[in-house]
Amino acid sequence: MEIRDALPSDAEAACAVMRRSIAELCMADHHDDPKILGAWLANKTAETFRSWLARGGQSYLLALLDGRIVAVGAVTDAGEITLNYVSPDARFQGVSRAMLAALERRAAERGNQTCTLLSTATALRFYLARGYVQIGEADRKYGTSSGFPMMKALG
């Protein structure tokens, strides 16, 4: 597995991974509700992804297996993990763990002592098992029961 920084030319494949991850793995969050799913997927376009890359202040990382993008992650320079999606084809292969570790390393390299994130209901157990603690109530992003605020001390 290779983890590297995303490039503008990766936008289409990266968005395909994010869209599949949301649609196929996050059923506990969107309950197959077209309105919720549509709102969540609305900004997962190649054009938007390229605009995120151009903005700065955030690192976008990709995990590749056999040259194929299988995970997309992002962390702000302030240590907030804003994206962490894995392809359904790569689930339970250690890809999400490796991506999270890379995002945490990037946050630490930027001088952060902690990482924060909003977890989906789907990923809540994953983050709890990796040392994150819930620090507030869910914010119901996109009409889901998602958005559990979490934090982990880096060290």
Q: In order along the chain (155 residues), what is the average pLDDT of each group of 10 residues? A: 97 96 82 82 92 95 96 98 93 92 98 95 92 83 68 95
The pLDDT value given to residue 144:
54
Q: Is the pTM of this model over 0.75?
A: yes
The pLDDT value given to residue 34:
86
Domains in the chain: boundaries: 2-153
In CATH terms, the fold of domain 2-153 is: Aminopeptidase (3.40.630)
Question: What phi and psi values does residue 28 have, to the nearest 5 degrees?
Answer: -65, -15
- Give the C-alpha separation, 84 to 73, whole Å: 4
The pLDDT value given to residue 143:
54
